[in-house]
Chain A
């Protein structure tokens, strides 16, 4: 069966350090992968997209990697700030251009 796995445990990290989140998938062959941010009581907000032929993508303090051999994406927040505290969701393109989402991984940045 198809699965998208993100760590269910919250990541607590000291301000200024790099937070790294993992998204592993099974039985998908996605042409691209997306990352979203969700704050409590709000809808998800799109952050980044990385295509299957891209190894790495950056946007400001965010960096995403995509390894189609390992079936894994890593999401990095460098120089993390308390305002980065949120839940981060990965999403893969599924059939008929639908997105399938992981359950999300919470990040808590400690001042």
Chain B
């Protein structure tokens, strides 16, 4: 049981390059989330998907797109990376069926944009 997996673990991009961060969960959760974590800012929600086939903007969606490929996979795309997108990105999954939305996090992707 792997939980939430993310690839890659580390990435360095040049300004203007694009990339996709991959996330998969094997806990059969309906909801999936993308966060970024910056020093002094805490975790901020970029996009989320409450269920397969739906996606919604979070607190800081600008410069990002997402795809909920199926129930297991939720990807985050940076179309034209900017230095302000240097951050640690976490994917999480959870199930609000019980009403409490305990979230399970992946190990993170450390992205540097030069």
Contacts and interface: CB of A to CB of B under 8 A. Distances in A.
A75 to B, nearest CB: 16
Contacts of A96: 50, 56
A45 interface: yes
| Chain A: interface size category | 20 to 34
Nearest to A8: B40
A101 B43 contact: yes
A103 B39 CA distance: 9
B43 A44 contact: yes
A34 B105 contact: no
A89 B56 CA distance: 24
B50 A46 contact: no
B42 interface: yes
Given A101-B42, A101-B43, A103-B41, A42 B108 contact: yes
A41 B105 CA distance: 12
Contacts, number: 49
Interface residues of B, number: 25
A111 interface: no
Interface in A1-57: 8, 31-32, 34, 41-46, 49
A69 interface: no
Interface stretch (B60-68, B79-87, B94-102): B94-102
B101 A93 contact: yes
Given A32-B100, A49-B100, A103-B42, A43 B31 contact: no
Nearest to B92: A43
Interface of A: 8, 31-32, 34, 41-46, 49, 89, 93, 96-104
